[in-house]
Structure 1
């Protein structure tokens, strides 16, 4: 049984340096309130600290990623939680295949298209009454054709132009829910239907055929606009419409094409529908309809001198870490995964290559501030325990606590975990030290604390992990004080007997909390764990530590 301790603390990066104590502190993310509670000197039972070991649920995020420069790690939506939220929204059980019958996304699309359909008749009559030719302009991807299965199952949220062209040429896309009925009603009513997509000229024929295949009427090659390739002539109507004619932006191209439809072809674009804000910006439409799409973001600057602040993504979000928010949130209320990636890049000083800046970044600065405040506190706890005749210890996780995995996770894996690649990095000892952590570990070791490693890496990775740590400036880690998780072919440690609800699949919390209890037990030497450090909340939940220190990590989430 764990010995009781007089004071339980939780330290979280993002509320840098604050100690959260007592039941009065409402949330980890509220730095000022947490600091105030700590200064009151109130004590708390161990259960209260566990209640606060949970991710933040409120976020402020600019679509361009710039929030990564200011929000801190805890203030960035964790990309794994974003993925789970998207899965829930599309009725995807985690396979990358959306539910084609029922989902929050389908419900939202059906409601949106019903609202638009209700306006078609009067919009048509109004346009005709004014002597104009009513038309509707529609984007392709995720406006008329649904790309989710390609984007998520095949591409894993990482766009691949080769795969995309295969899907286009094979006409694999289903219709976007609710849109066939809307378009066909409009066409039957007398609207001229125009397609306007960023797909290229070489994909035009297949795109129009795909639309016809899934039931759309009204799309014709003549009225379907695709973007020219570098080898294609630029349409005459686009002359002078782009600041750089060799790299025409989405808004320049789409607004210029709508201008052509209105000014040259004589139509009244009563409705312009798209899933990207860049589909809608630039004018030349009476009314714009934005369809939800959190699976990618294609930004583009507006036309020079054109201001349409209402055509912009939201910047405030509420998201539960388990993805359940996707069951009751609108699509626009889900953090867009491309914006999340850009925010993470900014936080780690990554220019977009998947390689973190190893010298200067908001991440490095946040860690430095956390370490500067917490190192003396943990050192003091080590020294106090030694004076009291105890055997103090500090427990540390591996990945993104002592060894930094960013380049593997982002450059190599593109935010999609690959156990084969992970083992390659582990066995070849490729990880640098987490910034500043060798100094913290050296300080607590010098203060008399036993340094103990506790990781979810498996037994077959133990030797390589310790060697990697030693090479990166952690001579304190040794085999006798380093715990790795058993593989299916390994015997389960005796101290874990009866500690897991399912012995064949011990959870992270069951494994780590039971191991900490074992470290504090008579069998292992009755150590007093004065601090437990990890980048995941599951590294910290379950007690058996006087203080828990959470390091920032928005690149993955292990609940």
Structure 2
């Protein structure tokens, strides 16, 4: 789930994400890893360059390690092994109870997939930032999406094709903004991923009447999916891809995991992404206005040291 696709409520005043973000800083304890654009001094730019390299090991691991490939592949392979049971069980449901939009009876089966780092691998974009000594920003992200060069995550093609062959619709609920829909669908199709029609992409900005979206949370869009489909499984690379995160703190995130721990590996399937995610701002009170140095210090302070 790309850093551009978890954004704060203030960003929705624009066109909703990835290309129009000048707004107030995200409120503390709200899931967000969107970084506001701001003026920087020469000293800050140097510090940003050094901080950007915090991502070096993570991106190198994604791009070069067989361990990453194995983890991603085994996740999708295990999920495929659960498809028949999910289809057969009439009450099998992968949506949190308060996000179920309709009764399950008579609905067509579907699975929900996040896009970035769940279906499409954007590590070349992250590598570009590292090479250039820069941090994420909306303009460079939009340019990357427009290139349509992201490759499919290991294992996802086999799963998606198996699901489609069984009559399961693939829904893409992404925090890529709706204005990136055309480029995203073109990239998905080019990689061989099933796209039934344009309606299967529910980007940030998709509206469900009567449902108030909280920042970049996906709850309203999951409800929309639940009105039309029986959702068998969900796939993502962070907890907010599966259920709303009311408090983006370490404690709040752990409480969500504890509540739904039995769903992982059965209805919910997590993909590895050490590069970015809402776990990161949870370590510095979701305050991207802090200097890169202050954010780095907060992350260091969160480390558990050997004694």
Structures share fold, TM-score greater than 0.5:
yes
**CA deviation digits over 1:449-478, x for unaligned, max 9?**
111111111111101111110000113352
**Partner Cα distance (1:540, 1:496) in 2:** 21
Q: Structure 1, residues 375-422: CA drift from partner, whole Å, max 9, x if none?
A: 211343135459985421101111111111001022246571121121
- 1:158-557 residue pairs with structure 2 within 5 A? 158-159=49-50, 340-348=54-62, 356-357=63-64, 361-385=66-90, 390-412=107-129, 416-486=135-205, 493=207, 495-500=208-213, 506-509=214-217, 512-521=218-227, 525=228, 527-542=229-244, 547-557=267-277
Question: Aligned pair count?
Answer: 213
Cα distance in structure 1, aligned partners of 2:136 and 2:82: 35
Distance in 2 (alpha carbons) for counterparts of 1:514 and 1:376: 29
Q: 1:386–1:392: 8 Å Cα contact kept in structure 2? A: no
Displacement of 1:496: 4.4
Structure 1: stretches of 5+ with no match in the other structure? 1-83, 85-92, 98-148, 160-294, 296-336, 349-355, 487-491, 501-505
Say which SS state the counterpart of residue 110 (structure 2) adopts: strand
Tell me if structure 1 keeps the 8 A contact 2:59–2:127: no
- Cα contact 2:114–2:174 (8 A) shared by 1: yes
Q: Distance in 1 between matches of 2:200 and 2:225?
A: 9
Looking at secondary structure, tell me which structure has more helix per residue: 2
Provide the C-alpha distance between the structure 2 equivalents of 1:411 and 1:361, rounded to a whole number of angstroms: 22
Q: Is the 8 A contact 2:75 2:269 kept in 1?
A: no
Segments of 5+ residues of structure 2 without an aligned counterpart are 1-27, 29-35, 93-104, 246-262, 280-307
Correspondence for 2:301:
none
What is the distance in 2 between the residues matched to 1:96 and 1:496? 38
CA RMSD of aligned residues (A): 3.4
Cα distance in structure 1, aligned partners of 2:37 and 2:201 = 34
CA gap of 1:158–1:373, structure 2 versus 1, over 3 A, is same
Q: CA deviation at 1:536?
A: 2.1
In the aligned structure 1, how far is the partner of 2:128 from the partner of 2:216? 26
> What is the distance in 1 between the residues matched to 2:226 and 2:114?
17
Over 3 Å counting, the alpha-carbon distance change for 1:547 and 1:507 in structure 2 is farther
The question of whether the paired residues in 1 share the 8 Å contact of 2:119 and 2:156 is answered with: yes
- Post-superposition Cα deviations, 1:99-128, rounded to whole Å, max 9, x if no partner, equal xxxxxxxxxxxxxxxxxxxxxxxxxxxxxx
Contact between 1:415 and 1:555, CA under 8 Å: does it hold in 2? no
2:296 maps to: none
Rg larger in structure: 1
Deviations 1:338-375 (A, max 9, x none): 5x545314522xxxxxxx23xx5321111122222222
Q: CA deviation at 1:479?
A: 0.3
Pair 403,477 (structure 1): closer, same or farther in 2 beyond 3 Å: farther
Q: Which residue of 2 aligns with 1:66?
A: none
Structure 1 CA distance for aligned equivalents of residues 275 and 108 of structure 2: 35
Counterpart of 1:192 in structure 2 is none
Are positions 1:154 and 2:45 aligned together?
yes
Distance 1:397 1:441 in 2: 13
Report Cα offsets for 1:55-111 as digits up to 9, x if no partner: xxxxxxxxxxxxxxxxxxxxxxxxxxxxx9xxxxxxxx99799xxxxxxxxxxxxxx
Per-residue CA deviation, residues 219-278 of structure 1 (Å, 9 max, x unaligned), is: xxxxxxxxxxxxxxxxxxxxxxxxxxxxxxxxxxxxxxxxxxxxxxxxxxxxxxxxxxxx
Counterparts in 2 of 1:476 and 1:383: CA distance versus 1, 3 Å: farther
Q: Do the aligned partners of 2:174 and 2:203 also contact (CA within 8 Å) in 1?
A: yes
Higher relative contact order (CA 8 A, sep 6+): 2
CA contact (8 A) 2:232 2:267 kept: yes
Change (3 A) 1:496 1:468: same
* Distance in 1 separating the partners of 2:60 and 2:87: 36
